Chains A and B, each alone.
Chain A
Amino acid sequence: MHQHTRTDPYTDRYAARAAGMVPSEIRALFAVASRPEVVSLAGGMPNITALPLDVVGDMLGELTRRRGTEALQYASAQGDPELRARICEVMALEGVHGSPDDVIVTVGSQQALDMITRIFIDPGDVVLAEAPSYVGALGTFAMYQADVVHVPLDEDGLIPAALRETLERLRKEGRRVKFLYTVPNFQNPAGVTLSETRRAEILAICAAHQVLVVEDNPYGLLGFDREPMRALRADDPDNVIYLGSFSKTFAPGFRVGWALAPHAIRAKLVLAAESAILCHSSFTQFAVREYLATQPWQQQIKSFRVMYAERRDAMLESLETLMPDGCTWTRPGGGFFVWLTLPEGLDSKAMAPRAIAERVAYVPGTGFYADGQGRRHMRLSYCYPEPDRIREGVRRLAGVIERELQMRDTFGTARARERGGVDTPGPETC
């Protein structure tokens, strides 16, 4: 008797929203990127070796001893009140003045984004996102079957005229736009920052079209060349939901982020949080609260800035020196990422295996678009490797691109046939 089996025996039972949850073969290549022989310019992990771990360790031990019965117990879905008050102090550095009562503590800002999408998006609703946009956000939007429409950006961030044009077109088509998702500071992946003048324009356009703004701001305090810019939320508290995180300013392992939302939205977010997780970890909330109360966290952020600035400089200098003609890239004033554009005809996804063979990794641009764009681009991270490794990585990458140019000249194309699936690696690379 013949036995019929499948690689996935549950394939007939999944919800429609699970249909796209298939990794591509490119994602498997990132298993190689974790080896020390490979210079990974793919990872988005903050470099936390600069944290005073002995001090943090003592702090956590003391926390457990003094307040263990609270720190190890369930808490409210909205999050610890004292931490929420501290969060308001952090946001004030970027001009945001909010009430602790309008803050909800979340499992990273990723959970905040998930809940916002869950409470606002019906299948087919439109979410506007920058072109390119943050891969973690695109994954969330796909999970809730949103229709993502990208709006172009340039070196000054989201282009207001393009936003206006897109909104008007969608209105004529009768499409329902629920919110604009934006990472205005040192954007992941493009590295660009929304200029001051454009901020007011973007807010005005969204208000006129009754489109909420979801402002995701993990990198706002990590600018190298100037003081933090005024957040969008500071100038429009009723139409902006602000997302923040301690992942880059303290450590991602605590998984503490937050949302600051208009009161009615915040109330729904608390109910959404309860249904997903009951409540956040009390222990990690207490840890972050303690850190903010007792440690020189602003000084720590300053030292992070110095460290990341040195790495950015190493990357930009080596790109300038080594990259073949026809390559262009952004020049971030902070954050973690450079967005590189390849010469015409090259394909960052097709060349990823060749890069791995040459022991350098990056994230192909296709992962940062919901509509198949991005093949001429790649995201390069400078946050994690030491400056010398960054220079070596760029050297290897330049060699790969040179060979790709030869491939293009030989075959008239350097693009391979499209295969579907999720291209981006796991969370440590987001």
Chain B
Amino acid sequence: MADLNVPELGHVIVLAGGLSYEREVSLRSGRRVADALRALDVDAQVHDADATLLQTLQQAPPDAVFPVLHGSMGEDGAIRDVLELVGVPYVGARPDACRVAWDKPTAKSVVRAAGLATPPSVTLPKEVFHDLGAAAVLECVVRRLGLPLFVKPARGGSALGASVVREAGDLPAAMVGCFAYGDAALIERHIEGTEVAVSVIERDGEPVALPAVEIVPAGELYDYTARYDAGDTEFVTPARLPEEVARRAAEAAVTAHRALGLRDLSRTDLIVDEAGQVHFLEVNVAPGMTETSLFPRAVAAAGLNLGRILHDLIVARLR
């Protein structure tokens, strides 16, 4: 039944799927977003990013597009550049901001310049290992950054290709796993602590942090399986942080959102060390919206309705 307090919205295309490694997650996110909007009587339709998309956008232009494409093209600005070419309003960060946010080393530089702490790191394409000798390069990395290390693709999501390395002997396999998903590796000093995700939404153009979600994976890593497949990952909302630390975590997410020039919504992943210092890990411009995802948990923890939040973000784009 239509909520009389919800402004009417016409036809919305929820863009999901694509050809990235995260296609399955994206399709699930897309279905959930569409369901949430339809519950408010919005005419929402899921559409894949495929050869029929442009024809659909041009022949039957929607009022807006809600992209939930995860992975490259969806998060690196490419699809948003296309939406701008076609002239269709869409929710979320603009292409330039996406390009910066998607490249983790660049995002770290930007937020560091804005005053956030982020783990020391190095970014190395696989050619460096090939040309200079993997063993020698890895020895330098360990000497400089120490152990444990966190290895992940410089561009990528859903923790695909990511691993914690505690023994130097495990580094080659970690690098192989990382390069399965990308051509450059971000190797960070691993910070032990409390892992939290802070989602941000814009209200009247101002970014507002939702309650932090604390992540307690059953295994060592909040990896792909721990994120998306029903299992033993535990979430605590709001995160069990002292008030002052929680405030700094929220502030860090808002700072990241602003510094990176993001728009409408984002999710920042942080780690809080044992001394209570908040460290920026990465930001996501198209946060997951599946049944197991963090953004919907944060919305629920704030006592808000997901469909209403998404609806309002769309309406804000149309103004």
Contact = CB atoms under 8 A, between A and B. Distances in A.
B180 A350 contact: yes
A407 interface: yes
Nearest to A5: B235
B225 A421 contact: yes
Interface in B155-187: 160-161, 163, 170, 172-177, 179-181
A402 to B, nearest CB: 13
Interface in A11-55: 11, 22-25, 28-29, 31-32, 35, 37-38
Given A25-B224, A410-B129, A410-B134, A350 B176 contact: yes
Interface centre among A6, A11, A412 (most CB of B within 10 A): A6
Contacts of B174: 416-417
Contacts of B248: none
Contact of B236 (A2, A10, A354, A411): A2
B235 A6 contact: yes
B240 A2 contact: yes
Given A22-B229, A25-B223, A412 B134 contact: yes
B87 to A, nearest CB: 26
B229 A7 contact: yes
A421 to B, nearest CB: 6
Contacts of B319: none
Contact of A419 (B20, B223, B227): B223
Contact of B163 (A8, A24, A417): A417
A62 to B, nearest CB: 37
A414 interface: yes
Contacts of A23: 225, 229
A38 B161 CA distance: 21
Interface in B1-49: 19-25, 27
A328 interface: no
Given A29-B21, A353-B181, A406-B130, A415 B173 contact: yes
A356 interface: yes
A429 to B, nearest CB: 14
Contact of B129 (A11, A351, A411, A421): A411
Given A7-B292, A419-B225, A412 B172 contact: yes
Interface in B221-237: 223-237
Given A407-B176, A415-B173, A5 B19 contact: no
A32 B177 contact: no
B221 to A, nearest CB: 9
B229 to A, nearest CB: 6
Contacts of B236: 2-4
Interface centre among B126, B163, B177, B301 (most CB of A within 10 A): B177
A404 to B, nearest CB: 9
A415 B163 CA distance: 14
Contact of A415 (B176, B229, B292): B176
Contacts of B160: 25, 353
A25 B161 CA distance: 10
B237 A413 contact: no
15 contacts: A4-B235, A6-B231, A7-B229, A7-B235, A11-B230, A22-B231, A24-B225, A28-B22, A28-B24, A29-B21, A32-B19, A32-B23, A351-B180, A353-B161, A409-B130
Interface of A: 2-8, 10-11, 22-25, 28-29, 31-32, 35, 37-38, 347, 350-354, 356, 406-407, 409-417, 419-421
Given A28-B21, A353-B181, A417-B173, 13 more contacts: A2-B237, A3-B237, A6-B232, A7-B232, A22-B231, A32-B21, A353-B161, A354-B179, A410-B129, A411-B173, A411-B175, A415-B173, A417-B170
